[in-house]
């Protein structure tokens, strides 16, 4: 029996827009309302011009050769800027259709003044990766259009990738307004109720919390200079750290989080940093799982805002899975194929070893034996080093889930997992009683308390 009787892919069509349900609706429809969805195509433009324009932008001075509107993210050349640019380039008109130097110069100045490293983007290898200002995460595969991304690459001295031209564009707001029926959910919609009503004709309904809210909101503290603010933040972190209470510090950029991290190192305060840098993104789940433990200090960008659940005392289930993963993976995962091997410098060996300080306690002899038996059975049944990493991760995930299972190996692994969870939970529950709550220090406009209140509710 066939469900769809189609002769060719060309017969597939998209049905009319009808009903749309949006998660974190205020983030999509309000915060990112103007974010464009773009269909682009390749454009051939000489890369040498980007480097030349970047050198000119570096030599030019603000308010002498150009002006900057930071709110609108635009730049304008002054009369002197035009004259000097034309003289350097030996052209009569920057807007000459045969040359069109103006867009190169303006983009180079934008890259210099408005797009900052470790704030708007990070460098990974030889790539410029955009950092989302609302989530703090790297927007993999996204590129700025109209030559701006190439201007940033030239500023950083990186290889210029092909430019793209916009073929079609629509904002989130205009796209979702095409749905006759629209709804969504979020923990922070009440403050935007007027905008939802006026723009989208949506009414906001507040669902009462299951338990009374016991969070204590302190008054805002405002400083004249950023130096004083960060000194006060370090003092506050130190004070809370001495009591053992876990601390979450919210920053607005990679640059800020790294700067604060350096100050905490100088103060001798152990901490973790969660931002868009690759080495930190890879450890995101691990960092979040430990950020509610006794004495933990976590510096985070907006990555730890929406959808993040920090459990006081630590996440026993995550730690149990990590322990089982540490034991299972070396036995069942085969070495990566197609890796170039150098005689002088062999590739680094993949390791799943986890720092023991991450776990709340060592495993008892009984649970160690149970886990070892489960891993040996898995290795014998599935084959020694016979699975890809993805296949092994999938089977481990299934082993750590709830629900009925018939597979003997999965059942054995799940039994070991549950026993390890039970052992770890005894320690994390004790820590939870000691820490009593989490201290949050939001630093910046994107870390308003309304954005993290849903997250703090689970702390107490």
Report whether 89 contacts 101 (CB < 8 A): yes
- pTM to 2 decimals? 0.69
Q: Rounded CA gap, 118 and 107, in Å?
A: 19
Q: Cα separation of 422 and 38, whole Å?
A: 49
As beta bridge partners, residue 170 has 37
User: What residues contact 159, with CB distance under 8 A and at least 6 apart?
Assistant: 126, 153
Q: 123 by DSSP, 3-state: which?
A: strand
Contact 45, 54 (CB under 8 A): no
Q: Give the E-state strand segments of 60-150 in sequence order.
A: 66-69, 74-77, 121-124, 127-130
What are the residues facing 272 on neighbouring strands? 298
As given in the structure block, the two tokens for residue 206 are 């507040």
b/e code 379-402 from CB counts within 10 Å (16+ = b): beebeeeebeeeebeebbeebbee
Tell me which long-range contacts 84-91 makes (C-beta under 8 A, separation of at least 24): 84/60, 85/56, 85/60, 88/56, 89/52, 89/56
**Cβ count near 40 (within 10 Å):** 15
Q: Can you list the alpha helix ranges (DSSP code H) found in 22-125?
A: 25-26, 48-59, 79-89, 102-113
The full set of domains in the chain, from first to last, is: 45-161 (3.90.1440.10), 226-312+437-459 (3.40.50.300), 316-336+344-435 (no CATH)
Q: Tens-of-pLDDT digits for all 460 residues of the chain? A: 445 555 666 666 777 899 999 998 998 999 888 888 888 777 777 778 999 999 999 999 999 999 999 888 899 999 999 999 999 999 988 988 877 899 999 999 999 999 999 889 999 888 999 988 777 788 888 888 888 999 999 999 999 988 777 788 899 999 999 999 999 999 888 889 999 999 999 999 999 988 888 888 888 888 888 899 999 999 999 999 999 999 999 898 888 999 999 999 999 999 999 988 877 887 888 888 889 999 999 999 877 666 678 888 999 999 999 999 999 999 999 876 544 444 444 444 556 788 787 888 889 999 999 999 999 999 999 988 888 888 999 999 999 988 888 899 999 999 999 999 999 999 999 998 888 788 888 876 544 433 333 333 333 3
Beta bridge partners of 23: 185
Distances (CA, A) of 286 to 155, 260, 272, 330: 35, 21, 10, 19
The residue whose two tokens read 């220090």 is: 441
State residue 431 phi and psi, 5-degree precision.
Answer: -65, -40
CA–CA dist 56, 33 (Å, integer): 35
């Amino acid at each position: 029996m066939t469900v769809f009787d189609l002769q060719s892919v060309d017969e597939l069509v998209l049905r009319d827009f009808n009903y749309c349900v949006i998660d974190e609706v205020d983030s999509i429809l309000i915060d990112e309302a103007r974010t464009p969805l773009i269909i682009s195509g390749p454009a051939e433009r000489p890369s040498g011009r980007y480097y030349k324009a970047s050198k000119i932008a570096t030599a030019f001075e603000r308010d002498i050769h150009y002006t900057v509107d930071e709110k609108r993210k635009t730049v304008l050349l002054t009369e002197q800027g035009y004259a000097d640019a034309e003289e350097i380039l030996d052209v009569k008109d920057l807007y000459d259709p045969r040359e069109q130097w103006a867009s190169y110069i303006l983009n180079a100045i934008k890259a210099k003044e408005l797009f900052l490293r470790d704030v708007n983007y990070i460098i990974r290898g030889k790539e410029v990766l955009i950092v989302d200002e609302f989530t703090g995460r790297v927007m993999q595969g996204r590129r700025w259009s109209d030559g701006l991304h190439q201007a940033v690459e030239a500023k950083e001295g990186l290889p210029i990738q092909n430019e793209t031209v916009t073929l079609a564009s629509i904002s989130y707001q205009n796209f979702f307004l095409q749905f006759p029926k629209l709804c969504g959910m979020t923990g922070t919609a009440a403050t935007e109720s007027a905008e939802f009503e006026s723009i989208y004709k949506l009414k906001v309904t507040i669902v009462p919390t299951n338990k009374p809210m016991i969070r204590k909101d302190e008054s805002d503290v405002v400083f004249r200079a950023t130096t004083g603010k960060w000194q006060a933040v370090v003092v506050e972190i130190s004070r809370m750290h001495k009591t053992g209470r876990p601390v979450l510090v919210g920053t607005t950029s990679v640059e800020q989080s790294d700067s604060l991290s350096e100050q905490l190192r100088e103060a001798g305060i152990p901490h973790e940093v969660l931002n868009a840098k690759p080495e930190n993104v890879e450890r995101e789940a691990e960092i979040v799982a430990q950020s509610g433990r006794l004495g933990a200090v976590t510096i985070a960008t907006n990555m730890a805002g929406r959808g993040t659940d920090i459990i006081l005392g630590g996440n026993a289930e995550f730690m149990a899975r990590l322990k089982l993963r540490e034991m299972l993976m070396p036995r069942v995962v085969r070495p990566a194929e197609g890796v170039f091997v150098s005689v002088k410098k062999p590739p680094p060996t993949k390791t799943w070893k986890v720092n023991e300080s991450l776990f709340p306690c060592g495993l008892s002899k009984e649970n160690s034996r149970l886990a070892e038996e489960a891993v040996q059975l898995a290795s014998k049944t599935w084959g020694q080093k016979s699975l890809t990493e993805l296949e092994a991760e999938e089977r481990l995930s299934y082993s750590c889930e709830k629900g009925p299972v018939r597979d003997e190996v999965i059942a054995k692994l799940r039994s070991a997992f549950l026993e390890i969870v039970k052992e770890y939970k005894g320690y994390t529950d004790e820590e939870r009683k000691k820490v009593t709550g989490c201290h949050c220090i939001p630093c910046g406009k994107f870390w308003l308390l309304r954005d993290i209140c849903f997250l703090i509710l689970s702390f107490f």
